[in-house]
Amino acid sequence: MNVERILVTGVAGFIGAYLAKRFCADNPELTIIGFDNINDYYDTKLKEHRLSWLEGYDNFEFVRGDLANRAEVEKLFKKYNPQIVINLAAQPGARNSIDNPDSYIESNIIGFYNILEACRNHHVEHLIFASSSSVYGNNKKVPFSTEDRTDGPVSLYAATKKSDEVLAYAYAKLYKIPTTGLRFFSVYGPAGRPDMAYFGFTDKFVKGEKIKIFNYGKCKRDFTYIDDIVEGIVRIVEKKPKEEDYYKIYNIGNSATKDLMEFVKTLQEELVVAGVLPKDYDFDAHTEFMPMQPGDALETFADVSELEKDFGFRPETSLRDGLRSFAKWYKEYYML
């Protein structure tokens, strides 16, 4: 890379930690600045666990702060003058956004606005930011293409991510900031987010509690393994949008939508193989079918043809391989 400093916000988060580790390991000449407020949306011990992966790298520097604090963001940019900014910091969770809207506006709107202003004022060479498959809402056409309409969000979280895309587009065009948005599809893997289904289901199985399967299992998701997400970002970092465009958006998904019941069955099998659960575990007794809940989409399915055309890459990790890696990690991390 012809850069010296990359800023990764949300570095204690799931994607941020994996990405920073990849950069640090592959590019010792790079300085990676990680920024995170380590909030308590979920267990902070897991966030600290991810940060521990980066402790042995001399080219990593961690700064604790809040993107919603304009002064802290300006101080960060003045001190490090990052050439590339990868904004992964956000308040996640479509369902939670319905009950706790304030944190989504503060983090996903105000925090991202502060990043955009800092990029404008400090002449950042390339801004990459995380969007989400949730912007597609309940689109009937599948797979989802970046050319499809995205003006029908079904949650506040989705609305904030769509807002980020519109803000980024305006800043890219007005101030000629090369900007790339990435719509992630159901990212999973070891040390992932506990509020995601695969992790939450596992926790409940271990505790002997029932899992709730919404819409009676009639939902489909495009599950994307963490290593594929990271590989996609790494490739995109090295190629900013052309100057006549300044703005580009990509889907990063496995492009292989899976039925929710197939996902649950595969997870159950891998948890048994890993020794997280006994072979005679009664999964049926710990499963409850529920109607659709607000904020959920019926199906997600990524069209990654643009990603493949521009970067020669498409995610390929199978759901079974990904869940097997998660189950092994869960066993080791929780010392079962």
96 is a domain residue:
yes
Of 157, 188, 247, 250, the active-site residue reads 157
Q: What is the dihedral of CA 164, 167, 169, 171, to 10 degrees?
A: -130
274 is a domain residue:
no
The per-residue pLDDT for 1 is 63
pLDDT in tens, the chain (336 residues): 678 999 999 999 999 999 999 999 999 999 999 999 999 999 999 999 999 999 999 999 999 999 999 999 999 999 999 999 999 999 998 878 888 899 999 999 999 999 999 999 999 999 999 999 999 998 889 899 999 999 999 899 999 999 999 999 999 999 999 999 999 999 999 999 999 999 999 999 999 999 999 887 888 899 999 999 999 999 999 899 987 789 999 999 998 888 899 999 999 999 999 999 999 999 999 999 888 777 677 788 999 999 999 999 999 999 999 999 999 999 999 985
The per-residue pLDDT for 157 is 94
Buried b (16+ CB within 10 A) or exposed e, 245-264: ebbbbbbbbbbebbebbebb
* pLDDT tens digits, one per residue of 277-300: 999 999 999 999 888 777 677 788
**Residue 157 a catalytic site member:** yes
121 is a domain residue:
yes
Q: Which domain holds residue 160?
A: 5-191+222-255+299-316
Quote the distance between the C-alpha of residue 125 and its chain's center. 22
The per-residue pLDDT for 295 is 66
261 is a domain residue:
no
CATH code for the domain in which residue 92 is found: 3.40.50.720
Q: How far is 195 from 41, CA to CA, in rounded Å? A: 9
Tell me which amino acid residue 127 is.
Answer: L
The per-residue pLDDT for 292 is 78
What is the total count of domains within the chain?
1
Cis peptide before 178 (omega within 30 of 0): no
87 is a domain residue:
yes
278 is a domain residue:
no
Q: How far is 54 from 63, CA to CA, in rounded Å? A: 13
170 is a domain residue:
yes
The per-residue pLDDT for 336 is 59
210 is a domain residue:
no
Residue 138 near residue 154, CB atoms below 8 Å: yes
